[in-house]
A and B are shown apart, each in its own frame.
Chain A
Amino acid sequence: MGWLEKLGAIDRRIIYLLLALAVTLPLVFPFALRQHVDRSTRGVFEAVDRIPAGGPALLISFDYPPDLGAELDPMALTVLRHCFARGVRVVGLSLVPTGAAVGERIMRTAAAEYGRRYGTDYCYFGYRPNAAVIMQSIGVNAKDALPADNQGTPYDSIPLMRTVRNYDDVALIFNIAGSGTVSGWVTYAGGPFRVAVAAGVASVMAPDFIPYLQTGQLVGQLGGMKGAAEYEQLVADRGYAPSRGTASRAMNAITATHLLVMALIVIGNAAFFAARSRRRRPHPAEAGR
């Protein structure tokens, strides 16, 4: 067996160790990489950037559980930083029970960074059951769908909500999802009420919503950590945030792991072809006959 073929039999424990190093080292020793910003990310950024300060609100729906937070929290934070830096008013809610606390934490964190006040600059309605009904009802009368905020404050007592009657007063719906709620927002809100919808989803789900991007039913989409890192870069480049955030650092680890996987595939194939050519080559004893 030649050295090339031996490379085709690397012990899996060594592969696991290499992967662990590829994930951890870039996080411990970060380096700065410029992201290539794709059209779908730019679509979300431009949609948020077009909302006038103090004008129609951005409705953000945190439809993911905490275990997807590692991937989805950074995009929620960076979009909110963009909004709060520009003075865009934000209305939050969650259509999954486990997303309620996630949304509250993220909205409070981002608002505190920019000194935004609850009730006038942003408000949060927590978990609302019956997703499809909520999506439709906001379009008819938001007060019916969201009678009180997460703390029990009535709709009319929240200064921000006095100017939000229905989707006519919403510039953009941004849905951060760990499940299929994006389709719901497109079907029940975007389509019937002609309100712009954008999505932020886990990377494994991103290809599922490409048809909506192609038809314009989604104005943009952030796909996993990559989308969040691209958005962070746009936000930092325009001066809305002092620096890029967690997603950009995580992209270093993702870059290293992708390179490792590609290297291993190349090595595996080199070993495969070396073994195949040796099998095809006639044995010296047979060749001499």
Chain B
Amino acid sequence: MADKGKRLPLLIVIVLGTVFVVQYFVPSRPSQGLYRQALRWSIVMGLPAIVIAIDSLVRHHAARIRRRQAGWGDSLVYLGAALLMAAAGLAGGVGEGSLFMRLFTYAMAPMQATVFSLLAFYMTSAAYRSFRARSAEATLLLASAFILMLGLIPLGAAIWRGIPAVSEWLLLVPNMAAKRGLGFGIGLGIVATALKIILGVERSWMGGS
């Protein structure tokens, strides 16, 4: 009986999976329409997930505030900020000049940029403490990093005109060789997994093993 219940979702995946593989290679108007329709469906089906996620977050933080758990003040700030942004967006829209966009541009974006910029301090400190030529491999990495850093700044070319070219070669050849190897592996893995799901070999996404 359990297997019978899984037939319909399996059939949907086989049919839609095959159709959209073909669709990708046919950039015609009907094919675009089909794809557009499918994306609309996926947006509609994704909406309940957002509702569930918001409900779960609000419950979690509300419980922390109610019980005065450690960090309940952070939860209060989170809920207040979420409420403010939602109210601003619903009341005044999200266009240029709206309260939502002002909050986003002048509060959210600088805060995100600040947190991101802290990375520079940690990276500098970590480079000083940990970037040591302990072995041949580490020395090679260190030398590459030096050349790349010099290649990134105008001073590199001023020291020696060949530095940008060496830096570019490091990026385009050894770096790309490694990245392409990884990329091929990931790509083949995606294709294999997708095929297994489309052909019904891989069924763990329906629950069970």
Contact = CB atoms under 8 A, between A and B. Distances in A.
A and B: interacting chains:
yes
Interface of A: 10, 12, 15-16, 19, 23, 33-36, 38-39, 65-67, 69-70, 97-98, 100-101, 104-105, 129-130, 132-133, 136-137, 139-141, 144, 192-193, 207-208, 210-211, 214, 226, 251, 254-255, 257-262, 264-265, 267-269, 272-273
Given A66-B105, A67-B112, A70-B113, A265 B175 contact: no
Contacts of A272: 132-134
B39 A130 contact: yes
Contact of A260 (B124, B146, B168): B124
Contacts, number: 138
Given A132-B39, A193-B27, A210 B171 contact: yes
Contacts of A98: 104
A140 B132 contact: no
A118 to B, nearest CB: 14
Interface of B: 27-29, 32, 35-36, 39-40, 43, 94-96, 101, 104-105, 108-110, 112-113, 116, 120-121, 123-125, 127-129, 131-134, 142, 145-146, 149-150, 152-158, 164, 168, 171-172, 175-176, 179-180, 183
Q: Is the interface of B mostly helix, strand, loop or mixed?
A: helix
Contact of B108 (A67, A101, A262): A67
A232 to B, nearest CB: 12
Nearest to B95: A101
Given A33-B155, A268-B128, A210 B172 contact: yes
Given A211-B176, A214-B176, A268-B132, A101 B153 contact: no
Dominant secondary structure of chain A at its interface with chain B? helix
A36 B164 contact: yes
A38 B153 contact: no
Nearest to B94: A97
Contact of B129 (A38, A105, A259, A268): A268
A18 to B, nearest CB: 8
Nearest to A11: B125
Contacts of B145: 265
Contact of B128 (A66, A139, A267): A267
Nearest to A98: B104
Contacts of A23: 120
Given A210-B176, A261-B124, A269-B142, 14 more contacts: A33-B158, A36-B156, A66-B108, A67-B109, A101-B101, A137-B32, A139-B27, A193-B27, A210-B171, A210-B172, A211-B179, A251-B154, A261-B128, A268-B128
Contacts of A268: 127-129, 131-132
A140 B153 contact: no
A264 B94 CA distance: 45
Contacts of A35: 154
